[in-house]
A = this chain, B = another copy of it.
Amino acid sequence: MIAALKSLPPLTPNLTSLNSLLSSQLSEINECILEKMQSPVTLIPQIAGYLVSLGGKRLRPLLTVAAAELCGYKGKRHIQLAACVEFIHTATLLHDDVVDESILRRGQDTANALWSNKASVLVGDFLFSRAFELMVLDGSLDILQILSQASSSIAEGEVLQLSSSHNLNLNEETYLKIIGSKTACLFSAATEVGALVAGADESKRKALSRFGYSLGLAFQLMDDILDYAADQEKLGKTIGDDFREGKVTLPIILAYQQGIDCEFWEEAFHNGVRDNNALTHAIHLLKESGALLKTKHTAQVFIEEALECLTVFSECPLKIALEDLAHFSLYREA
């Protein structure tokens, strides 16, 4: 499988092709987001607007639009549904930053740092509810089902991760379940909603749902790697956040399983010694043990699976752009 991946022609590993193919739709998504987050309670558009202005890749809403148009959709419903997907994502970011006590996101202060945890919790709740209001206006119970399931799955994944923090005996299978719930489910829902709004047949719907899920897993694993191996400036946040928060991610699981310097990992995760010196040593161990490389290998396998899902679609610029995106996720720096 990895061989097949390597045999693919070299690609510019970035979002450019999807962004340029869907540039007018991206503007429409951004307009829709700005319009629909309005509220007479001024603090709401203020905080939501700040988060939206930080940019971000708009990856999930772009996936909804791309999936819909790949299935031949010509209407406009996918724009608002894409905005719903982004609202759910933004709500989880606001709550995540409270849960993780983060102070930086994309190189800027987080909303909780600028306003307060209180405001972040409540504005997250608002965006979440607003997403459901918009879905109800759209009127598809199938779409509501997919996104309400994805939302409770995200919360389950986050709680499972919280329950598993500092647990060095977490295994790869459970870890993949956690990131499947907290990250991949929303990717999968984003693409499946696109297929649904286009009225795609069962095989295309399943293919897109699986594409999103595998892509989401790979995306999260690359996030886990970047937290230890990124160029801090390009990442836009401090590296080592997962380490400081005691989050046991796949690189840690793989390094600990090798049995090298177990005392160090136990000191760090059980006794809380996770200062900068410990981070430096952790990065050294993760690189030397090959744990980061193995994690990337796992991500590559999921990208292979994602690419495989796209084979049911005939060649077209959007399909190429989605393939490009899948590759990009293995080479991204932020």
Contacts and interface: CB of A to CB of B under 8 A. Distances in A.
Interface of A: 39-44, 92, 95, 98-99, 117-119, 121-123, 125-126, 128-130, 132-133, 135-137, 139, 141, 144-145, 148-149, 151-152, 154-156, 158-160, 162-163
Contact of A149 (B128, B133, B135, B156): B133
Contact of A132 (B41, B137, B151, B163): B151
Nearest to A139: B141
A99 B119 CA distance: 8
7 contacts: A40-B156, A41-B156, A98-B117, A99-B121, A118-B162, A132-B132, A137-B145
A148 B162 contact: no
Contacts of A162: 43, 118-119, 122
Contact of A152 (B126, B149, B154, B158): B126
A144 B119 CA distance: 26
Contact of A144 (B40, B92, B136, B151): B136
A246 to B, nearest CB: 12
B145 A122 contact: no
Contacts of A154: 125, 129
Given A121-B121, A129-B152, A163 B43 contact: yes
